[in-house]
Amino acid sequence: MAEPRNDAQILKGLLDALVLQVLADSDSYGFAIFQTVTARLKEDAPLFREATLYPLLYRLEAKGFVDVYWMPGDRGTDRKYYRITKEGKRHLKERIQDWGRVARILHRTVLDDKGGAK
Amino acid sequence: MMLGKLTRFPGTRIPAEALSGHSLLNAYLTDLDSRLLGSARVRLQTLAEVRDHLEESARHHTESGLPEDRAMELAIQAMPGKAQAMAQRAELLRRFVRVAVPSGLLWGVSMAAFWSFMPGSSEILALVWMLWLSTGVLFGAFLGWYTAFIMPQRLLTTTPGRQLAAAPSRGISVSYSPAMQRLGACMSIFFALMAPAFLALGVIGMFNSAAIEVFFFPWWACLLLAPVLVFDFFMVRLAARRYEARDYVIVVRDFLALPLNRLTAVGNLSDVRRFLPYYWKRVHYAEFKRDGGKAVRLLIYPTMLNAGRLFAMLQQHLEAKAQDP
């Protein structure tokens, strides 16, 4: 199997947007976010590792894109929930527009209908 | 070594609330805790989150047929403690820099600039500059240290590990009351204006030393607001940290969750207590019957978050219960 080509910065931006998208649907906690994102990534799931989840969430929190609160989870122990902020929603919208533009350009210039090179 | 002691003060042992019933997980958490920085409460934030993640992950593996120990082993393998500790250190460092650099520079440079307008020889002025700059740096470093390593990220969140209750409590939101938020904004503006005001004062003082006294007066008057701020801060901590949830009334301060089906009475405090000062006449109460017949009276202060909504909710619930017992 060919090794996936992933520019670290592009991947970081993509994962940030994916996590924000999950939180835009509903507030969630670490493990649930991880599961939802890997489910959405399907065969690309190995791109997202559990070890990178919390640094990513801390980064989003530091930028003010997500907010946190604690409340009891279903096992009775306290659980940290993440909630997207207004700024996070705005950032996500901008990123989606950017990615959309990049995808359109790629499809017009580089990729064929099946996603391969023209 | 010294830095480690400074950044782990005041507790160096793993907080007991972070430990679970699983020996593998406890060993992992103890190792992780030894790599984390910050006070016990700051470290608890990371430990509680990682513990929750690993327990969930292990449960996921167990459900797919793996034995419990193997499931926990796999969960732990996917979450190397070193990476989590580095993430926590990076986050604390970010918080430290965010507070220490601007506050140190602001105080050090502005105070040094202020004193440089005062008459005196250049040697004394250089000394004054050095003194104030170093004071500013120390002040900033102290603020940064306290904010990042000692104080948990959010004062108004509950402490993880101390269970509120296994309540269906979606919808709890924690924040300052609007009045407190407005006061906080005013105080931020006030402190932000202080440094340039001191500079302006220095310039004015060059031409007219008597004017300094006139200009100082409003600033001292403003400083008298500090006790008000402190009072409000504690009022928010003590009174406004009570929230409503779907089926429970959560009293965060006392870490209690009072089930609505145990609600027996609501009313105004003046109904049950005589000779109340004015403020207390606006306080409502809700009474809950606990196990053993003992009653708990929850006070609903007018300053607390959603006080009106909470009281209305309790009243409605009681009325509905009276109609359909």
The SS3 assignment for B156 reads: coil
**What's the pLDDT score for residue B278?**
64
Ranges A78-87, B74-83, B172-181, most confident: B74-83
Q: Please, which pLDDT band fits residue B210 given cuts at 50, 70 and 90?
A: low
Q: Is residue A30 within 8 angstroms of chain B, CB to CB? A: yes
Please say if the pLDDT value at position A94 is more than 90.
yes
- Binning pLDDT at 50, 70 and 90, where does residue B160 land? very low
Distance from CA of A65 to the nearest CA of B (A): 15
Residue with tokens 């740096």: B137
**How many inter-chain contacts (A to B, CB under 8 Å) are there?**
86
Partner B contacted by A72 (CB < 8 A): yes
Which burial class, exposed, middle or buried, applies to B18 when counting CB atoms under 10 A from its CB (0-12, 13-18, 19+)? Answer: buried
- For residue A79, give Cα distances in angstroms to A30, A68, B92, B241, B287: 9, 10, 20, 19, 29
Sort out which chain A residues have CB atoms less than 8 A from B170's CB and list them.
Answer: 71
| Rounded average pLDDT over B23-36 | 89
Whole-angstrom distance, CA of residue B267 vs CA of residue B283: 9
Considering only alpha carbons, which residue of chain A is nearest residue B94? Answer: A62
DSSP helix, strand, coil percent of chain B (3-state; round to 5): 65, 10, 25
CB contact under 8 A, B164 and A62: no
What is the predicted pLDDT for the residue at B46? 87
Instruction: Give the pairing of strands A78-84 and B248-251.
Output: unpaired
Distance CA B93, CA B87 (A): 10
Of B78, B163, B174, the CB nearest to A72: B163
Give a three-class secondary structure readout of B102-153: HHHHHHHHHHHHHHHCCCCCHHHHHHHHHHHHHHHHHHHHHHHHHHHHHCCC
Tell me the ipTM for this assembly.
Answer: 0.84
Specify the higher pLDDT residue, A65 or B220: A65
CA distance B60 to B76: 13
pLDDT for res A93: 94
User: Exposure of B228 by Cβ count < 10 A (0-12 exposed, 13-18 middle, 19+ buried)?
Assistant: exposed
- Pick among A63, A70, A79 to test the B interface (most B CBs inside 10 A): A70
What's the mean pLDDT in B95-117? 80
Whole-number average pLDDT of chain B: 71
A50 and chain B in contact, CB less than 8 A? yes
Residue B162 and residue B17: Cα distance in Å, rounded? 7
Cβ count near A19 (within 10 Å) = 27
Q: Do the beta carbons of residue A83 and residue A75 sit within 8 Å?
A: no
* Cβ neighbour number for residue B41 with a 10 Å cutoff: 18
> DSSP E strands: which ranges in B130-247?
242-244
Q: And the tokens for A66? A: 């997500």
Nearest residue of A to residue B86, measured between CA atoms: A55
Confidence grade of residue B262 (pLDDT, cut at 50, 70, 90): confident
- Tell whether A29 lies on the interface with B, counting CB pairs under 8 A: yes
Beta bridge partners of B85: none
Confidence of residue B302 (pLDDT cuts 50, 70, 90): low
Chain centroid to CA A84: how far? 12
pLDDT at B202 exceeding the cut of 80: no
- How far apart are the C-alpha atoms of A8 and B92, rounded to whole Å? 23
Alpha-helical regions (H) of B261-306: 269-272, 278-281
- Residue B104 pLDDT grade (very low, low, confident, very high; cuts 50, 70, 90): confident
pLDDT of residue A91: 94
**What is chain A's length?**
118
Q: Which two tokens stand for residue B45?
A: 């934030």
Cβ–Cβ gap B163/A76 under 8 Å: yes
- Gyration radius of chain A over CA positions: 16
Q: Hey, are the CB atoms on A72 and B157 less than 8 Å from each other?
A: no
pLDDT of B176 > 60? The answer is: no
The verdict on a CB contact (< 8 Å) between B158 and A31 is no
What are B250-261's pLDDT values in tens digits? 544 433 556 777
- The verdict on A54 touching B (C-beta cutoff 8 Å) is yes
From the list B57, B83, B91, which residue is nearest A62 (CB)? B91
Pairing of strands A78-84, A66-72: antiparallel
Residue B229 Cα to chain centre, angstroms: 15
Question: Of B244 and B29, which is predicted with more confidence?
Answer: B29
The one-character DSSP state at B158 is P
Is B133 in contact with B112 (CB distance < 8 Å)? yes
Provide the whole-model pTM.
0.63
- Residues A66-77 as b or e (16 or more Cβ within 10 Å = b): bbbbbbbbeeeb
